[in-house]
Structure 1
Amino acid sequence: MNKKIVWSIIAALVITNCLSIVYIALDKTTAEDKSEEMTVEATKPVVASGEEEVVATVGDSTITRQQWLNELENRYGKQILEAMIDEEVVRQMAEKHKIALSEDAIDRELTLIKTMYNTIDHEKIDDEHWKEQIELSIILEELLTKDAVIPEEEMQRFYEENKHLYEIPKSYHISHIVVKTKESADQVIDELENGSSFAALAMEKSIDEFSANRGGEIGYVNQDNGYAPESYLGIAENMKPNEWSEPIQIEEGYAVIILHDTVDAVTYTYDEVKDQIKRQIAIDQMNGTISVEPFWKELGVKWFFGKNE
């Protein structure tokens, strides 16, 4: 798949990132504060008669809920509001043009994105959230390409030339903890058996810098994408979801993996992906332009930060 198509799919999913900004920022701040043992005292909301609700105290100073909300609005308000408007615009335009998607189409796109692009932290976004964003992405593409006419022969040729894109090998959603010695790996397993969190141990002990700060998350791995050592695949084949492995010797030392999910191998036929191919070709001809903006004016959107001209 050429770069324009790959980035068009990723760009259409950017709504996910916008809606997650506040969560990520606050989560990161909380983690840093705890690790550095800051002296900020977190308290339950306090409301005195005639006074504002207090959400935190710092020494003799307080932070009120209104101050907190104002700061959130100033930092992220425009981005989040714009994302919310975009979603509603897409839904209203879909209803206007009677565009509806089958569950199979959404599930198929979900499988392709999970196993091929591996660009989103799977532990932070569940399948239902993914499906909602994928539905919006596909509907937007349908709206932008609804008048496009792509010859059948061109779509069939695209399918044959890119058939590997629609052949998904068996894939395993895995996290790992990499340590230097067998003894360290055995200690990791002991702590897991005593109830420790795999993600917490990965952040504390793993020497793999790429995955450690994500709780060991390495996404969906298979024989084609090369995201993990070949030995992981053979071991994951015989594992059950939420089961961890014995120590695995790898180039960097030893690893312990945990299996989250398995996606069986599948090959999609031309008829199953025909509509997707049409959208991809049409968007590529549009120079990869994916935007809700053209529909704001059509629906007469007005918002806090100004009127759409």
Structure 2
Amino acid sequence: MKKFDVSILAAAVLLLALAVVGLSEGEKEDPAVAKVGDVTITESQFSDALKHKYGIRVMDQLIADALITQEAKQQGVTIDEAELEKQVDALKKSLGSDEAFRRSLEKKGFNEQTFREALKIVMLKDKLFEKAYPVTEEQIKEYYDKNKEKLGNPVPTLEQAREKIKEKLAGKNRAKYQDEWIKGLEKKYGPTLLDPVLAKQKASEEE
């Protein structure tokens, strides 16, 4: 199974935190989230601090997720429940039990529902990316011919090693072309930052 992209999970958690603590316009109360002696830290202070420190990273991830969702919709690419369940079951198995899986999610600030939502985006991304940058049969055979002695003892046949080689080459493609692919989607769909703080952070990042 592919390694799960933890950075996407982390960004999703932070985004959720911003959404939860953010106050709607016109809301009068500003509840406390912490006290230090006689100093109170409010939700709006917490939200503003997160926004100024991490906002553009979270927004970049949110935009990337939206681009992936939009492109998947346009191409008719979907993740069905059976596919999602297979990945979740594999993760549970790798951790040893459902309880270990639950504890692992809690440590990262997730429940199973938010984890599944983040995982679905990752799976959509992989499907779309593999369509844009497919691993060819020629590439698989070339890799096998050059590296078969390193694939095991006894040396597996090409057919036995095919999926492992394909996954490795797909990972190399993602590392090499993913930024280029996302930029292509940005050009296609033209996301615009409307928040002045985030727009300023983005402009500074691109200088």
TM value normalised by structure 2: 0.58
Contact kept in structure 2, 1:54 and 1:64, CA below 8 Å: yes
Structure 1, gaps ≥5 residues long: 25-50, 166-276
Residue of structure 1 equivalent to 2:175? 288
Whether 1:114 aligns to 2:117 is no
Contact kept in structure 1, 2:105 and 2:112, CA below 8 Å: no
Residue of structure 1 equivalent to 2:130? 145
Local SS of the residue matching 1:101? coil
1:36-92 CA distance string (max 9 Å, x none): xxxxxxxxxxxxxxx873625544544444333221212222222222212111100
Displacement of 1:111 in angstroms is 2.1
Local SS of the residue matching 2:79? coil
Structure with bigger gyration radius: 1
1:118-172 CA distance string (max 9 Å, x none): 89753413333332222211211111120425339x59x6772388x9xxxxxxx
Aligned CA RMSD, in angstroms, stands at: 4.1
**CA–CA distance in 2 between the matches of 1:22 and 1:287?**
24
Residue of structure 1 equivalent to 2:117? 132
**CA 159–133 in structure 1, closer or farther in 2 if over 3 Å, else same:** farther
Local SS of the residue matching 1:146? helix
Residue of structure 1 equivalent to 2:12? 19
Displacement of 1:17 in angstroms is 1.2
Displacement of 1:106 in angstroms is 1.4
Residue of structure 2 equivalent to 1:67? 45
Q: More strand by proportion, 1 or 2?
A: 1
Contact kept in structure 2, 1:22 and 1:76, CA below 8 Å: no
Whether 1:84 aligns to 2:62 is yes
Residue type at the aligned position of 1:103:
E
**CA–CA distance in 1 between the matches of 2:159 and 2:117?**
26
**CA 22–104 in structure 1, closer or farther in 2 if over 3 Å, else same:** closer
Whether 1:102 aligns to 2:72 is no
Residue type at the aligned position of 1:112:
A
Contact kept in structure 1, 2:129 and 2:174, CA below 8 Å: no
TM value normalised by structure 1: 0.42
**CA 160–69 in structure 1, closer or farther in 2 if over 3 Å, else same:** same
**CA–CA distance in 2 between the matches of 1:285 and 1:22?**
29
Displacement of 1:99 in angstroms is 0.5
Residue type at the aligned position of 1:133:
A
1:164-200 CA distance string (max 9 Å, x none): x9xxxxxxxxxxxxxxxxxxxxxxxxxxxxxxxxxxx
Local SS of the residue matching 1:53? coil
1:196-240 CA distance string (max 9 Å, x none): xxxxxxxxxxxxxxxxxxxxxxxxxxxxxxxxxxxxxxxxxxxxx
Residue of structure 1 equivalent to 2:30? 53
Number of aligned positions between the proteins: 163
**CA–CA distance in 2 between the matches of 1:96 and 1:70?**
35
**CA–CA distance in 1 between the matches of 2:187 and 2:56?**
18
Residue of structure 1 equivalent to 2:20? none
Residue of structure 1 equivalent to 2:161? 161
Residue of structure 2 equivalent to 1:302? 192
**CA 158–107 in structure 1, closer or farther in 2 if over 3 Å, else same:** farther
**CA 69–296 in structure 1, closer or farther in 2 if over 3 Å, else same:** same
Contact kept in structure 1, 2:105 and 2:115, CA below 8 Å: no
**CA–CA distance in 2 between the matches of 1:138 and 1:93?**
13
